[in-house]
Amino acid sequence: MTLDLLFDGANIFVLPFWALMILLPNWGVTRKVMESYLPFVALAGLYAYLFVNSVDPETAQSFSNPTLSDLARLFADERVTATGWIHFLVADLFVGRWIYWEGQKTGVWTAHSLILCLFAGPLGLLSHITTQAVTKRFFARETKTVEQATDAA
C-alpha cells in the first residue's frame, strides 16, 4: 500500500465513529461501537507501522532533543507527516470518545464539543470542560447522572 492510501484510509476510517457520536449519540449501536477499543488498536497499529518506517538514525537523533527548526525539517518528510497525522487522529478520537461517554454519563450536551474535537482536538476538550462546568453550575437540577436516574427507578 502506498503512503497516500494509508493516509487517506485512516482519515476515512475515523469518520463513522465521529458521525455516530455526533449525529446518533443515544443510539444503542453507537454505545456498543464506542465501548470498543478496536478502532484505537487499528489506528495505533497503523501508527506503529508508520513510525517504525519513518524513523532512521537522523530522525531519531532529531526527536531525542528536538528544536522547532528540527521538527519543521522532519515534518517536511511525508512519512513523518503521515505518522504525525495518524497520531492526531488516534488522540483526537480517544478524547472525543471520552467526551462522548462523559455526555452519556452526565447528560451534558456534547455535539458542539465533539465537532470541535474532530477538527481541533484541544478546543473540543476545552469546550466540553467549559460546557460541563456551566451545566453543573447553572443547570444542575436538569442534568442527572445515569446512576441517579437508575437509582430513582
Per-residue confidence (pLDDT) for residue 148, from 0 to 100: 59
Taking the C-alpha atoms of residue 74 and residue 130, their distance in angstroms, rounded to an integer, is 35
Per-residue confidence (pLDDT) for residue 150, from 0 to 100: 54
Per-residue confidence (pLDDT) for residue 4, from 0 to 100: 97
Give the torsion sign (CA, 140, 142, 145, 148).
Answer: positive
Report how far apart the first and last C-alpha atoms of the chain are (Å, whole number): 54
Taking the C-alpha atoms of residue 109 and residue 128, their distance in angstroms, rounded to an integer, is 9
The pLDDT averaged over each successive group of 10 residues in the chain (153 residues) is: 96 98 97 96 97 88 88 92 96 98 96 98 97 91 55 58
Listed residue (95, 102, 87, 109) closest to 43, CA to CA: 87
Listed residue (18, 26, 31) closest to 95, CA to CA: 18
Q: pTM, whole model, 2 decimals?
A: 0.86
